[in-house]
Structure formats: structure tokens, C-alpha cells
Structure 1
Amino acid sequence: MENRRAIEWSEAAWLNQPEAVLADGSNLLVTARKGSDFWRTTSYGFVHDDGHALLTDFGVGTAIEVAFVASFEELYDQAGLLIRVDEQTWIKAGIEYTDGAPYLGAVVTHGRSDWSLAPVPEWDGREVTIRASRTGDAITLRARCEDEPWRMVRLAPLDPGATAAAGPMVCAPTREGLTVRFTSFAVTDPDAALHS
């Protein structure tokens, strides 16, 4: 992309400080607190707003990309990208461990959360990039593993007048010791079209 710019980790601010954060060259190693998650009400009946996200401004007409490497082992281990307006309006997309395998999924929350997902066992332990393009009243979420083609994950609504932030996200709802290696964080032009 012509206008791609790396975002320095120090340019963004933490929503809910993780257990540990360690710079490793250009990478950032983030260890989640046990019990951390983002979810609102649906099916489970609880509200969690204590997941970890390193957020920067996310305006209309831009895209945010986050890349990471992780091997997930426990139920609901997750990493990816969070887009946040407020505690009731947010979107997360990435890899989450459920039913014994990593899944590519997204949660869209407008008061209540929903969840869509598809298994990607072949992505375990490999670099995954999540891309969110913000155009008009929509967020287009895509993902890829290493240099494979982009996959469409979700098209979701977001008020074009909303002030939003976005960036790397990690949660460990059920265990201690989940560490994720984030390998890049960038802003670029949004996808030119919904369909290629």
C-alpha cells in the first residue's frame, strides 16, 4: 500500500494494562491477565470489559493492520485487533481458541455482543495479520496467514460520526501465562472495494 506507515508501540495507549509488556527488537511481547476478556451479555449473561488493547485513533478513510504470532492452548485464548468507540460499541477480530482448535472470528458489539467464527487449525503458531478498513458507515475485516491471500472475515456497521480507536488486542479469559508476540502495527489506505 502506498500510504502505509508503521505505528510505533509508544504512539498508542493501553486500555487495561496487561500483566506484562516487553519490547523484543521491533516486536512487542504482551502477557494477558487471567480473566481478561471483551464481551457483553449475549448467551453468557456477563459483561467483560477488561481485555487488553493498545489503541490509536482510527478515522474514516483509513485502515489499521495488526500482525501477531501465538500458539493458543486454553479455551478462549485470543489475540487480534480491537476497534473501540466505548464500552458498549466495539468490534474485535482475530484468532480465538475454542473446541480444541484456533478459529478466525469476529465479535461485533452494539449493546450486546455477537460472534462469528471459522476453524483455521493450519494457522496455529504462524504469523496472522488482521486488517480493518473504515469507510463510510462500515468496517471491513480481513485476515491472512503469512503471505497467503486475504480472507474476508466480516462486514460490520459503525457510525461514520463516531470517534473510534483501534489496535492490537489480547485476552486470556481462563488462564495465566498467555503471551502473544505482536510483530507489526500499521495504518494504511482502506480497501478500495468490498469485493476484489
Structure 2
Amino acid sequence: MTASASAVPWSAGRWTHEPAAVRPDGDALLVTAVEGSDAWRTTAYGFVHDSEHALLAPLDPGTAVEVAFTGDFSGEFDQAGVFVRVDDEHWTKAGVEFADGALQLGAVVTHRFSDWSVAPVPDWAGRRITIRVSRAGDAITVRARAGDEPFRLVRVAYLAPDAQASAGPLISAPSRADLTVRFEAWTVGPADAALH
């Protein structure tokens, strides 16, 4: 994040659904997910899951949010990243999840129905991962990186310019009870100046 960015206190957010456990670890936050937690609406699977753990604060137009965490996952669909929420039927989650035996970088964009895009990033396992979501005009732009690598573009998705949106750290554990993620930073700052 740029020099004009500022840290968001963990206490500034509100959980969409309370995690199994939350505890400070220095400046970081250790969060343990409830087994079966997830976010999805209908497409391909026929079910609605609305049980993710997302710590949210307002995401105003012209701003960006970054969340950093350690990507140490082993359970099928273990996931962490950023959640952007307008309402139950309009939201985006972006980050990494463990699927098909490897860490995957991707996003789920939901406008009544969810879609999902992923790409394997097995070399990101165990590293500090940063997910950045920038809001400008009628779009959010998702970027991600591991360590100090350059950010890579993950997704550009529609978000109504007048939508009241909130965003922040996300964790879900669809298949197990003991996923704990160490969230190392949550910052906000100005939106990206350009898409490319």
C-alpha cells in the first residue's frame, strides 16, 4: 500500500458471522474458522452458503483495501483473502484457497449467482500473501502477490458506483474444524490510478 495508506484497527470491523476463535498475536490477529463456513450462491452446486467469517468496514469509492496473511492451508477449500459485501446477493471474495491438492489464487463474484475463477499458485504456500481490492468508478480491481513480488491482476468485476459496500479480511473452512489463519495487516488507502 502507498505511503498515504493507514492501518485499520481489527476492532473497527464487524464480523458477518462470528469465527470459532479470535485472538491477538502482537499486531496480528489469529482467526479460527467454524467447520462448514463458506460463501456461495447456487451456481453449479445448487446450494447457498452464507456462513463465511468476514471482518468488514466501509469500502468507499476511490479507495483500496489490502489484507495480508500467511497462506498455510491443507484442508480442501481452506480459504482466506478479502470479502467485499453489498448485501446477501451481491458480494465478491478474492484470495487463495486450497483446492485439488494445491493452493489456488482466484475470486468468486456474486450478482445473485456466484461464479468462480482460479489459477494454481503452489509456490505461494506458507508465504505472506497480500490481496488488494481497489474500488473506482463501476468496478473493483483485485490484485495479489506473495512476499515482495509485484502484484498480479486477478479480476476486474462490476460494482455499482452508488453501492454501499464494505470490505475486509475473510476466512472460511468448508471441510474442517481447525483452520486458523494469521492475518498480519489490514490497510486502506487511495484506489489504484489505472487498471494497467
> d(CA) in 2 for partners of 1:186 and 1:137?
22
Q: Deviations over 1:142-177 (max 9, x none)?
A: 000010000000000000100000000000001110
How many residues of Structure 1 are paired with residues of Structure 2 in the alignment? 195
After TM superposition, the structure 1 = structure 2 runs for residues 16-27 of structure 1, keeping only pairs within 5 Å, are: 16-27=17-28
> d(CA) in 2 for partners of 1:48 and 1:34?
12
Secondary structure of the residue that 1:191 maps to in structure 2? coil
Secondary structure of the residue that 2:177 maps to in structure 1? coil
> Residue 61 of structure 1 corresponds to which residue in structure 2?
62
> Residue 33 of structure 2 corresponds to which residue in structure 1?
32
For residue 168 of structure 2, what is the amino acid of its counterpart? G
> d(CA) in 1 for partners of 2:127 and 2:110?
28
For residue 17 of structure 2, what is the amino acid of its counterpart? N
Q: Deviations over 1:37-87 (max 9, x none)?
A: 000000111000110000000000000000000311111100000000001
> d(CA) in 2 for partners of 1:137 and 1:143?
20
Contact 2:77 2:173 in 1 (8 A): yes
Once the two structures are aligned, what percentage of the paired residues are identical? 58
| Residue 169 of structure 2 corresponds to residue 137 of structure 1 | no
For residue 97 of structure 1, what is the amino acid of its counterpart? F
* TM-score normalised by L of structure 1: 0.99
Q: Deviations over 1:86-108 (max 9, x none)?
A: 01000000001111000000000
> d(CA) in 2 for partners of 1:124 and 1:70?
5
For residue 88 of structure 1, what is the amino acid of its counterpart? E
For residue 34 of structure 2, what is the amino acid of its counterpart? R
Secondary structure of the residue that 1:122 maps to in structure 2? helix
> d(CA) in 2 for partners of 1:107 and 1:131?
15
For residue 123 of structure 2, what is the amino acid of its counterpart? E
| Residue 10 of structure 2 corresponds to residue 9 of structure 1 | yes
Structure 2: stretches of 5+ with no match in the other structure: none
> d(CA) in 2 for partners of 1:25 and 1:123?
24
Contact 2:71 2:124 in 1 (8 A): no
| Residue 94 of structure 2 corresponds to residue 93 of structure 1 | yes
> d(CA) in 2 for partners of 1:43 and 1:57?
31
Runs of 4 or more, structure 1, over 2 Å off, are none
> Residue 117 of structure 1 corresponds to which residue in structure 2?
118
| Residue 187 of structure 2 corresponds to residue 186 of structure 1 | yes
> d(CA) in 2 for partners of 1:70 and 1:135?
28
For residue 72 of structure 1, what is the amino acid of its counterpart? F
Contact 2:83 2:94 in 1 (8 A): yes
Contact 1:70 1:179 in 2 (8 A): no
* TM-score normalised by L of structure 2: 0.99
Structure 1: stretches of 5+ with no match in the other structure: none
